[in-house]
Chain A
Amino acid sequence: MLLNLALWIQATGFFTYLRGSGYAYPSILSLHMVGIAFFGGMILMTDMRLLGLAMRNRPVSDVVDQLRVPKRYGFLLAATMGVLMLGCKAEEYYYNAFFRAKMTLLILVAVHALIFRSRVYSQAASFDKAGRVPAVAKTAAALSLILWIGIACMGRGIGYIEPPFGIHAGLAAPQVTVAQALVPAVPALMPASTTRSRP
Chain B
Amino acid sequence: VMKDAPGGGKLVACISLCLWAAVLFGGIFIGFLNPTLDIHQV
A interface vs B, CB < 8 Å? 22, 26-27, 29-30, 33-34, 37, 177-179, 182-183, 186, 189-191, 194-196, 198
Contacts beyond the supplied A178-B33, A179-B32: 16 A-B pairs with Cβ under 8 Å: A26-B31, A27-B25, A30-B29, A33-B24, A33-B28, A34-B25, A178-B32, A179-B35, A179-B36, A182-B36, A183-B36, A186-B36, A189-B36, A189-B41, A191-B35, A198-B31
Interface residue total, chain B, C-beta cutoff 8 A: 15
B32 touches A194 (CB 8 A): yes
Number of A-B contacts (CB under 8 A): 50
Q: Which residues of the partner chain A approach B32 to less than 8 Å between Cβ atoms? A: 22, 26, 177-179, 194-196, 198
Q: Tell me whether chain B's interface is mostly helix, strand or loop, or mixed.
A: helix
Q: Which residues of the partner chain B approach A183 to less than 8 Å between Cβ atoms? A: 36
The one of A30, A34, A194 that contacts B33, using a Cβ cutoff of 8 Å: A194
In the complex formed, the residue of B with least CB distance to A198 is: B31
A29 touches B33 (CB 8 A): no
A34 touches B35 (CB 8 A): no
State A190–B28 Cα separation when bound (angstroms).
Answer: 18
